[in-house]
Structure 1
Amino acid sequence: MSGFKLFRVSAVSIPANDYLGQRAARPYFRDALAAPVSNKSFTPGQLQNAIFTVMPLWVQALMALRNRIVGVLGFEVGRTFTDDRSAFPPRDLQVGDAVAFMHVIHADANEVVSFTEDKHMQFYLSVSKQDEQVVVSTMVNLKTLTGRLYMAMIKPFHWLIARVVIHNAVKDGRI
């Protein structure tokens, strides 16, 4: 099932029993987006780095504002993604590597999963290769009412930012 398409990014069906699905705890949020890959030799870890190490300035500004606001509520506000266009091919990721505010908890030939947790939520990011496309899936286990309210407020921003960032990676030939 394909969903709404923005640029060269499509919403796709969420896998049934994948790595993230096995860690879902109600209530939770989950989405999955797919985009074409031109650098077919890249590993999932290289794809994750190629997508998320370049953020538009407006996204960086929104994340800085978000960090100032929610830091006082106990949300994770660690390092953000960095803009590193010079790393080509991008560095591969292995279990234990730090990636912005997350750590890699799973890596194999088909998928890399990064994770972070605070008192309000658990956040997972999966990047996998499927045929000639990359699938980026986000899952957030919501542990508190504050976490659920936060997710409800940022969902429209997540919807837009995820699609723009992945589209930019395709458009720029980074993936």
Structure 2
Amino acid sequence: MRQPVTVIDVPASSLLAPSLASADFFDAYRVAVPDARQSALEIYLGIVSRTPAWVTRLMSLRNRVVVLFGLKDLGHLGDIDAGKPASAYRVGDRVGIFSLLALSEREVVLGDADKHLEVKISVCKLEPPEPAAGGQPAVAVSTVVHNRNALGRVYMLFVAPLHRRIVPATLRTLGAGA
């Protein structure tokens, strides 16, 4: 089942909220979750494990191009250890293309940084379930980017429009196979 995805503000309760004032780019999306008992990390793992094939192809293209300009080949969103349970992850571990920066039942923050930019992603459970959404449990998936130099700014000129298509498309798969 494809989940509806809504553009929202980064939740004030998110660990990313204090960094918004200095951010060069940020956005957030709300999506219903099929199981409110899952931790924020379990939800994230479920999202990236069903990354659409076209997103994986775009990441491959991105990786081939950006290494020519000194940026990292990140791999793919879904490059996770399918056999590793969420409970085995610790702050500092790699989870696909990101490092685990903060971990709680309610919110997981992942990120990556290089000399050009710093990216942080949050999956934050929204509490309580919103009446406008039929009382269904949901998460906010937020992204915050801080550019560190001109190359980071140029990179984001190309990536931001794609990001606004990739994230909702990936989030819509959340209920698939659940």
Decide: shared fold, TM above 0.5: yes
Residue among 65, 68, 71 paired with 2:64: 68
Alpha-carbon distance between aligned partners in 1 of 2:21 and 2:114, rounded to the nearest angstrom: 15
Which residue identity does 1:148 align to in structure 2?
R
Q: 1:110 aligns with which of 97, 106, 113?
A: 106
Q: CA deviation at 1:173?
A: 4.7
Task: Please give the alpha-carbon distance, in whole angstroms, between the structure 1 residues aligned to 2:112 and 2:143.
Answer: 12
Q: Any residues of structure 2 matched to 1:12-161 within 5 Å, and which?
A: 12-16=8-12, 18-24=14-20, 26-82=22-78, 91-92=86-87, 93-131=89-127, 132-161=137-166
Deviations 1:92-148 (A, max 9, x none): 443122111211010112100001101110010100111310110011111111111
Displacement after TM superposition at 1:164 (Å) = 0.5
* Count of matched residue positions in the alignment of Structure 1 and Structure 2: 167
Deviation at 1:81, TM superposition (A): 2.3
Whole-Å separation in 1 of the counterparts to 2:22 and 2:43:
29
- Structure 1 position 18, deviation (Å): 3.5
* Deviations 1:11-58 (CA, angstroms, capped at 9, x unpaired): 111234631133347351110101111211100000010001221111
RMSD: 2.4
Q: Secondary structure at the match of 1:150?
A: helix
Structure 2 unaligned runs (5+)? Answer: 128-136
Q: Provide the TM-score with structure 1 as the length reference.
A: 0.84
Structure 1 residue runs of 4 or more that deviate by more than 4 Å after TM superposition: none
Structure 1 portions without partners, runs of 5+: 1-5
TM-score in terms of structure 2 length: 0.83
- The equivalent residue for 1:166 is 171
